[in-house]
Amino acid sequence: MARPRLLPAVVRSLLGRPSTVQYPYVKTEVEAAYRGRHYADLKKCTGCSLCAIECPADAIAMTQIPAHLEAPKSNPRRVYPKIDYGRCVFCYRCVTVCPFDAYVTTNFYGMAGPRENTSEQLSLGTLERVV
Amino acid sequence: MVDKVVELPVTIEIPVGPQHPALHEPVLLKAYVDGETVVKVEVNTGYNHRGIEKLCEQNTFYKDIFIIGRVCGICNTVHTDVYVRALEQILGLEPNRRAKYLRVVAMELERIHSHMLINAVMAEVVGFDTLFMSIMLDREKVMKAKEILTGARVMADYMMVGGVRRDLSDADAGRIAKLVEQVRERLTYYKRVFEEDTTITKRLMGVGVLKRVDAVRHTLLGPVARGSGVRIDARVSDRYDAYDELQPEVVVRGEGDSWARMMVRWDEALVSAEIVLSALSKLPRDGSPVPDERKLPRKFPPGEAYTRVEAPRGELTYYVMSDGKANPYRVKIRTPSFTNIVNSAFLYEGYTIADLPVILASLDPCISCMERAVITDLRTGERRTVPFTQLSRGDKAWRGRGFYLL
Amino acid sequence: MTATLAQAGGFVKPNRRVFTLEPSRVRSVFLDLVRERGQEGFYVSTIVGVDLKEEGLIRVDYFVVLLPEEETVVLRTAVPRDNPVLDSIVDIVPGALSGELETHDLLGVLFQGNPYLRRGFFVPSDVAEKGVYPLRRG
C-alpha cells in the first residue's frame, strides 16, 4: 500500500507563512455583500415599526428622535428603530421587510466590545440639527 | 490459610464527557468498563435543551424561519430549507427553478463543510492533529464559498418562502466554482489519506461494526446507515428542490465500521462538489429567485405538512401544523442526530475505552441538533450476578433482550 | 377549526398517506408490518404528538418510512387527553424509543410496556417535578 505523501505538505507548511490570520491586528477580508452592521437612514424612515415587529431576535426598539434633530415630515411620531447589536443576529429581516428601503447595509463586523453597542449614533448621524 | 474467596465484579464507571467526548459539544457517555473493555454505555444528554419547538409555537411563521436556522450551526440551511418547504406546501407556493438550484448549491456546500469538519474531528480524536489542521484550513475555502453565496460564513439565513434571499451574480458563481474545484482536489487527497494512512486505518477499521438490520431497526440514518449498506437518501426518494434534475449518486458501503462511515462521508463530499459544479454551470434564468418579502402572504391556511431533507447527518424531518392563526400550532423537529445518538448505545459494547470517542465521532453527533435527553438506568440487581465480560461477549440470555443491554 | 384538521385524513402534504387506527390496534399493526415486510423493510422515522385541546384528544402520529422505496406513511391515532395511554412498540421496533420517550416527556402520553419511560429526561427537573408537560396547550 502506497502511503500518500505527507512530506511535501510538511515541508510546505514549514517554509510557508502561517495560515492563521492575526485578528484583530489584521482584518479578515469579507465580501462586500457580507451581512454586517446595518442601520436605518432616518431621512427615509417613517417610524412605522414594521422592522421592530418582524425582528426574530427582538433587537429593535422604537426610540424617540431627540428634539434637537430635524425629523422628516413623513415621520410624524418622531420614532426610529434603535438596533441593539448585542442582540442582533444579522439575518437582515428588517432590511428586507422595510417598505421604504430605509436600511443602510455595510460589511462591518468588528462589533465586539465592552460597551453597549447600538445603532443610535449611526442612525441619528443621518439627520441634521434643527437650526 | 485462605478459606474464602470473595469475588468482586471489577467494573469502573468512566464518564466520557460531558465537556469534550469527541466533538466540542456537551454529551455524557457513561461507560462501564471491565478492564479495558466497555461493557455498557449510557448516553446521557440534555445539556443543551432550549425548547425550540415550544418557542416556534409562540412566534409567527416567518420569525420561525430564523429561529429554526439557530437549531444547529453546521446544518442551518437544511433546517431552514425543510421548514420553508413545509410552509410552501401549506401555502401552495412554488419557487422558481433558479431559486431551487441556488438552494441546492447552498445545501451541498453545507454538506461538504460538514463532512470535512467531522472527518477533521475524527483525525483529531485518533491523535492526528496535523491532519485536523490541514482539513480545517481547506474547509475555510468552502466557508468562503458559502459567504459569497449567502452573505455569512455560517449563519446563512438564506431560505425564504418562495425562493432564496439573495441572488447570485455570474461572476460570483464563477468564484464559487473555482473554490469548489480547489476543494474537490483536496477532498480526493484526503480520501486517499483516510484510505491508506496506517494511523487512520488502524484506529478506525473494525471499530464499532454496525449490522444492516440493526441500522434499520434502530432508525440509524444518513452516512451511518449508508456505511452499513442501507440505501436511503431523501434527496433521491423525495426529489425536493432541484434534485429531480441534479440526481446525486448514493454512496453505500458494506463494511459497517467507523472507517466505512468516514469513507462514505468523503465520497459524499466529492459527489456534493460535483452537484455544486453542475448546478452552477446550468443555473436556470427564469426570473429572480428572490421573493419580495413585503408581499408574501401574511395568512396561512389551516393544514399540515411533513417534509424531509437529507441533511449531512441523515434524514431530517419537520412536521408543521397550521390552524389558520398567526403562529404555527405545532412544529415537530426530528433531527438525524436524535436517533443516531440516543438509539446507538449498543454500538460501543465490546470495544475498548480508546475506541469510544472514535465510535461517537463516527456517528457525527450534533448535540445542539438533538437537544434532547435520555438516561438509561442500570439494573443494579442483575449487575452483581453476571460477569461483565460475559455480557459484552454476547451472552445469549442478555443479547436476546434486544437492543439495550440494561 | 382543529376538529376538521384531525379528521382531514387522506394525505399529509406532500403525498404522505394517512392511515387512521384505533389506539388499541397500534401494536398489532406494527407486528403485521414486521411480519409482512421484515425487520429491514421499514423504520419508524418519528413519533409526533399533537395536543388538540378543543377536542380533548392528543393525536399521536407514527411516521413510518417503508424501505427500499422510502415512502413515508402516517399511522395516525388519538388518545383522550385526560387519560393518554398507548401500547409501546419499543420491543417490536427499537427505533421508536427516542420518539416514545420524547412524546411521553413533552405531552404526557404513557406508553405502556416501555421500561425506559421517565419524566425529566428532556425537560428540566424543576419543571418535571411540577408535573407540567411543556407542549400541552394551556
Domains (ranges, CATH) in chain B? 12-48+339-399 (no CATH), 52-337 (1.10.645.10)
SS3 content of chain B, % helix, strand, coil (to 5): 50, 10, 40
| B330/C50 CB distance under 8 A | yes
Domains and CATH numbers, chain A: 33-131 (3.30.70.3270)
Please report residues of C whose CB lies closer than 8 A to that of B244. Answer: none
Domain ranges of chain C: 2-129
Note the pLDDT tens digit of each residue in C71-118. 889 999 999 988 899 999 988 888 888 888 888 888 888 998 888 887
The better pLDDT of the pair B24, B275 is held by: B275
Give the burial string for B136-151 (b: 16+ CB within 10 Å, else e). bebbbbbbbbbbbbbb
Could you give the count of Cα atoms lying within 13 Å of B218 in the half-sphere of its Cβ?
Answer: 25
| B306/C13 CB distance under 8 A | yes
pLDDT band at B144 (very low <50, low <70, confident <90, very high): very high
Which residue on chain B is closest to A28 by alpha carbon? Answer: B144
Query: DSSP assignment, residue A87?
Result: T
Note the pLDDT tens digit of each residue in B91-100. 988 899 999 9
Whether B391 shows a pLDDT value over 70: the answer reads no
Note the pLDDT tens digit of each residue in B148-203. 999 988 888 899 998 999 999 999 999 999 999 999 999 999 998 888 888 888 88
Environment class of B170 (CB within 10 Å of its CB; exposed 0-12, middle 13-18, buried 19+): exposed
Report the residue from A34, A57, A92 with minimal CB separation from B147: A34
Whether C66 shows a pLDDT value over 80: the answer reads yes
The better pLDDT of the pair C131, A97 is held by: A97
Distance from the A6 Cα atom to the nearest Cα atom in chain B, whole angstroms: 9
Whether C70 shows a pLDDT value over 90: the answer reads no
| C71/B317 CB distance under 8 A | no
Instruction: List the single range of A58-72, B57-71, B348-362, C96-110 with lowest mean pLDDT.
Output: B348-362
For cell 489542521, name the residue: B133
CA B22/CA B258 separation, integer angstroms: 14
Report the residue from C42, C91, C121 with minimal CB separation from B375: C121
CA B398/CA B379 separation, integer angstroms: 12
Q: Does residue B193 belong to the interface with chain A, where contact is any CB pair within 8 Å?
A: yes
Q: Is the dihedral of CA B109, B115, B120, B121 positive or negative?
A: positive
What confidence score (pLDDT) does residue B368 get? Answer: 62
B73 φ, ψ (degrees, to nearest 5): -75, -45
| B49/C12 CB distance under 8 A | no
Residues B155, A93 contacting (CB under 8 angstroms) = no
The better pLDDT of the pair B355, B404 is held by: B355
Residue A7 has a CB neighbour count (10 Å cut-off) of 9
Distance of CA B264 to the CA centre of its chain: 13
CA B168/CA B99 separation, integer angstroms: 10
Report the residue from A10, A56, A99 with minimal CB separation from B63: A56
Residues B403, B346 contacting (CB under 8 angstroms) = yes
**Cβ-Cβ contacts under 8 Å for C23 (sequence gap 6 or more):** C60, C77, C78, C79, C85, C86, C87
What confidence score (pLDDT) does residue A9 get? Answer: 76
CA B270/CA A2 separation, integer angstroms: 22
Classify domain C2-129 by CATH number.
3.30.460.80
Residues B345, B197 contacting (CB under 8 angstroms) = no
Q: Do A and B have ≥3 inter-chain CB pairs under 8 A? A: yes
Report the residue from B372, B377, B404 with minimal CB separation from C102: B372
The better pLDDT of the pair C121, B391 is held by: C121
What confidence score (pLDDT) does residue B266 get? Answer: 93
Percent pLDDT > 70 in chain B is 84
Report the residue from B65, B165, B197 with minimal CB separation from A3: B197
CA B303/CA B335 separation, integer angstroms: 22
Q: Over the Cα atoms of chain A, what is R_g?
A: 22
pLDDT band at B340 (very low <50, low <70, confident <90, very high): confident
For chains B and C, CB pairs below 8 A equal 132
What confidence score (pLDDT) does residue B372 get? Answer: 38
Whether B398 shows a pLDDT value over 60: the answer reads no
Q: Do B and C have ≥3 inter-chain CB pairs under 8 A? A: yes
CA C50/CA C2 separation, integer angstroms: 11
Residues B301, B324 contacting (CB under 8 angstroms) = yes
Q: Which helix (H) or strand (E) holds B197?
A: none
Q: What is the 3-state secondary structure (H, E, C) of B312-362?
A: CCEEEEEEEEECCCCCCCEEEEECHHHHHHHCCHHHHCCCECCHHHHHHHH
Please report residues of B whose CB lies closer than 8 A to that of C5. Answer: 302-304, 321, 323
Q: Over the Cα atoms of chain B, what is R_g?
A: 23
Note the pLDDT tens digit of each residue in B222-278. 899 999 988 888 888 888 888 888 888 899 998 888 899 999 999 999 999 999 999
| B137/A19 CB distance under 8 A | yes
Q: By three-state DSSP, how is residue B370 classified? A: helix
Q: Which of residues 53-92 of C touch B (CB under 8 A)?
A: 61, 63, 65, 67-72, 74, 91
Residues B72, A97 contacting (CB under 8 angstroms) = no
Cα angle for residues C39, B338, B49 (degrees, 5° grid): 155
| Spatial CA neighbour of C47 closest among B306, B77, A96, A44 | B306
Which residues, given as ranges, of chain A have pLDDT below 50? 1
CA B272/CA B251 separation, integer angstroms: 11
What confidence score (pLDDT) does residue B335 get? Answer: 87
Strands (E), B65-182: 159-160, 163-164
Question: B310 to each of A119, B14, B299, B355, C120, how far by Cα in Å?
Answer: 39, 35, 29, 28, 31
| B196/A2 CB distance under 8 A | yes
| Spatial CA neighbour of A56 closest among A18, A89, A98 | A89
What confidence score (pLDDT) does residue B277 get? Answer: 93
Instruction: List the single range of A127-131, B64-68, C49-53 with lowest mean pLDDT.
Output: A127-131
Q: Which of residues 102-131 of A touch B (CB under 8 A)?
A: none
User: How many residues are recorded in chain B?
Assistant: 406
CA B145/CA A107 separation, integer angstroms: 16
Q: Does residue C50 belong to the interface with chain B, where contact is any CB pair within 8 Å?
A: yes
Averaged pLDDT of chain B: 82
| Spatial CA neighbour of A54 closest among B65, B69, B84 | B65
Cα angle for residues B52, C57, C85 (degrees, 5° grid): 90
What confidence score (pLDDT) does residue B378 get? Answer: 37
Q: Which helix (H) or strand (E) holds C25?
A: none
Whether B348 shows a pLDDT value over 50: the answer reads yes
CA B342/CA B46 separation, integer angstroms: 11
| B66/A4 CB distance under 8 A | no
Determine the average pLDDT of the residues in C28-43: 89
